[in-house]
């Protein structure tokens, strides 16, 4: 049975975005898949495929205009686009961090600013913000990325307060490690810095690399299935931890002093 719910998803070329598109499409949703390069999603199952760079307002405006011309509404916005830059704060390239923030934070704000007026006129809507468990506690050499996901947490909490009166709900999804291109992109972005054996943070870089190689990662499709179920709920909670190992759930819940002591050993 065809579902009349229109879902706009950013960052659909791989990972959660790609899998979520196909799951929702199979469930009958009207799915609008977007990516910076629309060629990367040409074989994706979706109702509509559009080029959308969340860092460029004109791309966002054009894509949203196209959605409205076809479907007259947007019921759900999934802010999924994002990536990571790693490195000790003393050494990380600030320009790289700014570029990451353009996608992870400012791009999300621009999507919200463009779509919320439509939802406000509808007096309904849901915004699903893809954050990370790293938005709950920071790790050494991952401070820049963690800070962007801490920002997503704050944006989501503010949205809930601002939009409640217009019957618009929002939530943040906090996944653990997932089998996607995320870590491949991370390695490409940070390889030169993290392979520097003369760095005063070489021990941290080596430890992080080992951990990522042995870390258990969830399947993107399974994570997407859980997100689809969350999206269908009549009332969204503030946040949802998805595919987060128990040890990280426990770390997130620890008092600051214990959390810091534990993380120093990692």
Tens-digit pLDDT profile for residues 124-159: 999 999 999 999 999 999 999 999 999 999 999 999
Q: What whole-number distance in Å separates Cα of residue 252 and Cα of residue 136?
A: 6
From the list 25, 145, 201, 240, the catalytic residue is 145
Q: Is 16 contained in some domain?
A: yes
Whether 187 shows a pLDDT value over 70: the answer reads: no
pLDDT, position 108: 98
Q: What is the mean pLDDT of the chain?
A: 93
Q: What whole-number distance in Å separates Cα of residue 17 and Cα of residue 197?
A: 36
Q: Which domain holds residue 193?
A: 6-264
Sheet holding 30-35, edge to edge: 48-51, 30-35, 6-9, 76-79, 125-130, 168-175, 239-242
pLDDT, position 147: 98
DSSP strand pairing (178-179 vs 76-79):
unpaired
State the total domains in the chain: 1
Cβ atoms of residues 164 and 125 within 8 Å: no
Give mean pLDDT, residues 41-48: 97
Whether 88 shows a pLDDT value over 90: the answer reads: yes
| pTM of the predicted structure, to 2 decimals | 0.93
Q: Is 250 contained in some domain?
A: yes
Q: Is 52 contained in some domain?
A: yes
Q: Is 1 contained in some domain?
A: no
Q: Which of 60-69, 105-114, 190-199 has the lowest mean pLDDT?
A: 190-199
* Domain harbouring 151, CATH code: 3.40.50.720
Residue with tokens 């801490």: 150
Q: Is 93 contained in some domain?
A: yes
Question: Is 145 labeled as catalytic in the residue annotation?
Answer: yes
Q: Which of 180-189, 196-205, 228-237 has the lowest mean pLDDT?
A: 180-189
Who has greater pLDDT, 195 or 33?
Answer: 33
- The number of angstroms, rounded, from the C-alpha of 240 to the middle of its chain's C-alpha atoms is 13
Q: Is 118 contained in some domain?
A: yes
């Amino acid at each position: 049975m065809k579902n009349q719910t229109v879902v706009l998803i950013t960052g659909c070329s791989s990972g959660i975005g790609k899998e979520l598109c196909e799951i929702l499409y199979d469930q009958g949703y009207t799915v609008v898949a977007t990516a910076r390069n629309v060629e990367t999603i040409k074989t994706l199952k979706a109702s509509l495929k559009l080029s959308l760079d969340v860092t460029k307002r004109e791309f966002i405006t054009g894509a949203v205009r196209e959605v409205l011309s076809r479907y007259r509404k947007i019921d759900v916005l999934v802010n999924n686009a994002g990536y990571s830059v790693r490195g000790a704060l003393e050494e990380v390239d600030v320009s790289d961090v700014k570029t990451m923030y353009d996608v992870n934070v400012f791009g999300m704000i621009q999507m919200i600013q463009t779509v919320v007026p439509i939802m406000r006129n509808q007096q309904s809507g849901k915004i699903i913000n893809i954050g990370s468990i790293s938005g709950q506690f920071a790790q050494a050499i991952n401070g820049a990325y963690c800070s962007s996901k801490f920002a997503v947490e704050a944006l989501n909490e503010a949205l809930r307060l601002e939009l409640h009166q217009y019957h618009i709900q929002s939530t943040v999804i906090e996944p653990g490690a997932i089998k996607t291109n995320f870590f491949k992109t991370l390695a490409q972005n940070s390889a030169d810095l993290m392979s520097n054996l003369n760095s005063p943070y070489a021990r941290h870089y080596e430890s992080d690399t080992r951990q990522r190689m042995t870390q258990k990662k969830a399947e993107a499709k399974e994570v997407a299935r859980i997100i689809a179920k969350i999206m269908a709920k009549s009332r969204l909670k503030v946040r949802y931890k998805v595919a987060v190992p128990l040890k990280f759930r426990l770390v997130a819940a620890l008092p600051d002093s214990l959390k810091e002591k534990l993380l120093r050993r990692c």
